[in-house]
Structure 1
Amino acid sequence: MRVAAISDTHGRQNWEMPNCDVFIHAGDMTGSGSLQETAAFAARLRKEMESANGPPHAIIVPGNHDECFETLPRATRELFGPNVHVLEDEPLVLDGVTFYGSPWTTPFMLWRFMADESRLAMLYQNMPTSVDILVTHGPPHGILDPGWKVKHAGSMALAKAVADRQVRHHIFGHLHGAGGQLVQQGTRTFITSQRATKNTGLSINLACLKPTTVFEYLPKFHLRVGRIPMMPNACFTNLYSESSLWLQKNRRR
């Protein structure tokens, strides 16, 4: 299975669709949150999926800018095709791979899909004990989550939910300043889709300066390099640069 992931396109249509089996958007497809802007994204996605090399499945997790998913849920979901799976605190199994999607972030201004830590803790109770690929719009606390005027803006409840479960990969966006960074924390490595990893000592060639980042994912062993879990921040719009998709090549053995 080849999985491509992106987030925070905010209405821009200059993102790319590589050859993949599953396409993931981790939230903030729109800037305004309008039904019209969401329809434009849905039309672009549908066109890509119907092309000769288009992915058979797509997974969508709304973000805090995607207002119509919360205010007009039925009309918004009807914009997407039958193989576009909108995940709001729910699992999905494709070819034996378990995905789980959740749109929530910690409160900031008057956006959508925001909740305090106590409510987030209750929401994350629905998460299965074992998840191959977790997709959330917001990051966990302390992992690629620099905030505005705060050091960490990620959710502590999400961090605990991930720590308490077997999560192989965690894809998120939301905080643009973290895009394209790689950090190592204990035995885990957390990777994003923007910028080069030149200041890390890890022998992983992510080709981050190219439009698409490619690496191998082995379902039974996490990653070939170090066999350690990954947490990418898939932001497309970045404070420092614009890049393209985060692409994960997933091979079975």
Structure 2
Amino acid sequence: MQHFLAPAITYDPPSLLYTLLTQPIKTLIRLLDLTFSTLRPKPKPNQPPIRIVCISDTHCLKAPNIPDGDLLIHAGDLANLGSAEEIQPQIDWLDSLPHRHKVVIAGNHDRMLDPRSRDTLPLKDRSVALKFNSGRRLNIYGAPQTPASKKDDHAFRYPQESDAWSETVPRDVDVLVTHTPPKHHLDLPIALGCEYLLKEVWDVQPTLHVFGHIHAGKSDFVGQLKGGQEVVRWDDGQRALERALARPDGLFRGIVDPRSWLDVARVTYYGITNVLWEQIWGGSSPASTRMVLASLMYCNSGELRNPPQVVGI
């Protein structure tokens, strides 16, 4: 649901008008980054490619058309209240799908799977190495924890200001699966993702990062243009972008602050030079991660209207 002014609840996508009024400079910067990213070469999958189908946030519902692939990933929130009666049918449904390999993590709604509820289930922070028919292998790591701004009764929560991620992800991971997104990536203009997870992803730089949680992350204006996926290139341009998005903004404060326009200049400079280097002069591209928001739930509609995301790596 789009709103003329502020979204009714935090997790709803704001209207473009509201975003422009509250974040004019950041909106410009996000559009500049999207434009330059589109012009840069996309990372090519290894050969033979592994086809990965990414879903999350099914909330007790079963999507009718899940594409086939080599690996199915569910990035959490199988349930609503998190009882065994809700989770078991979801597990049975996933088990019935034809994918040879399936990786599932819990989300903040999957209360029964939280170690505080079932301390006999070692479900947090696990790694698995999968071998595919092509002979290729992938190291996959999953973690369900999500930041909370206040105490609630959801599962796998940690205080928003605390670091729950540093030195937690193995450095040889190819595919990272988390329920929360990293900050500033497909997490709405107000950036509901975790800054400490972002720092950890900077250190690990996996080939693929799959997450969910923010249903509407691909429903705001820029999120719609990205279509639920983005390629994050780990270079100076990315650092400049994140510094700019972390700065306070506002209709007047952002426009009159010279630092805001310096951020615009930096993002533009790095964007142009990177496009010229890679597309004109044939220079090599930096390491990159494809980030995927896999939520099937459309905003808070109660309907699985978002399509599964399919990636080849």
TM-score higher than 0.5: yes
User: Which of the pair has the greater relative contact order for Cα pairs under 8 Å at 6+ separation?
Assistant: 2
Alignment of 1:49-128 (within 5 A): 54-70=98-114, 71-72=117-118, 74=120, 88-95=124-131, 96-108=137-149, 109-116=152-159, 117-121=161-165, 124-128=166-170
TM-align CA RMSD: 2.9
Aligned residue for 1:92, secondary structure, equals strand
Contact 1:179 / 1:235 at 8 angstroms: preserved in 2?
A: no
Pick one of 130, 135, 147 that aligns with 2:177.
135
Q: Which amino acid aligns with 1:67?
A: R
Distance in 1 separating the partners of 2:68 and 2:231: 29
Measured after TM superposition, the shift of residue 235 of structure 1 is: 0.8
AA matched with 1:229: T
**Structure 1 residues 69 and 38, CA, compared in 2 at 3 Å: closer, same or farther?**
same
177 and 58 in structure 1: CA distance in 2 versus 1, 3 angstrom threshold: same
Distance 2:153 2:218 in 1: 23
Partner of 1:83: none
Show structure 2 runs of 5+ residues with no match. Answer: 1-49, 132-136, 236-284
Secondary structure, in 3 states, of the residue corresponding to 1:159? helix
The alignment status of 1:234 with 2:277, answered yes or no, reads no
**Map of 1:11 onto structure 2:** 60
In the alignment, is residue 30 of structure 1 matched against residue 79 of structure 2? Answer: yes
- Classify 1:227/1:164 alpha carbon distance in 2 versus 1 (closer, same or farther; 3 Å): closer
TM-score (ref. length: structure 1)? 0.69
Matched, 1:246 2:309: yes
SS at match of 2:95: helix
TM-score, L = length of structure 2: 0.56
Instruction: For 1:46 and 1:185, locate their aligned partners in 2 and report how far apart those are by CA, in whole Å.
Output: 32
The aligned residue for residue 269 of structure 2 is none
| Aligned counterparts of 2:231 and 2:168: Cα–Cα separation in 1 | 28
Amino-acid identity (%)? 29
Q: Is the 8 A contact 1:92 1:99 kept in 2?
A: yes
Would you tell me which structure has more strand in proportion to its own residues?
Answer: 1
Question: Which residue identity does 2:70 align to in structure 1?
Answer: D
Show structure 1 runs of 5+ residues with no match. Answer: 49-53, 78-85, 189-224
Larger radius of gyration: 2
State the Cα distance separating 1:179 from its structure 2 match. 3.0
Q: Which amino acid in the other structure matches residue 142 of structure 2?
A: G
| 1:110 aligned partner, one-letter code | D
* Structure 2 residue corresponding to 1:153, chosen from 192, 198, 203: 192
- Write the distance in 2 (CA, Å) between the matches of 1:112 and 1:125: 22
Instruction: Give the conservation status (yes or no) of the 8 Å contact 2:234–2:287.
Output: no
* TM superposition shift of 1:103: 0.2
Number of residue pairs aligned between Structure 1 and Structure 2: 196
C-alpha contact (below 8 Å) 1:173/1:234 kept by paired residues:
yes
Aligned mates of 1:55, 1:186 — CA distance in 2? 30
Q: Whose helix proportion is higher, 1 or 2?
A: 2
Shift of 1:69: 0.4
Write out per-residue CA displacement over residues 102-158 of structure 1, whole angstroms, 9 at most, x where no aligned residue. Answer: 10111154311111243413xx423111321110000111111128xxx11111110
CA distance in structure 1 between the aligned counterparts of 2:192 and 2:142, rounded to whole angstroms? 19
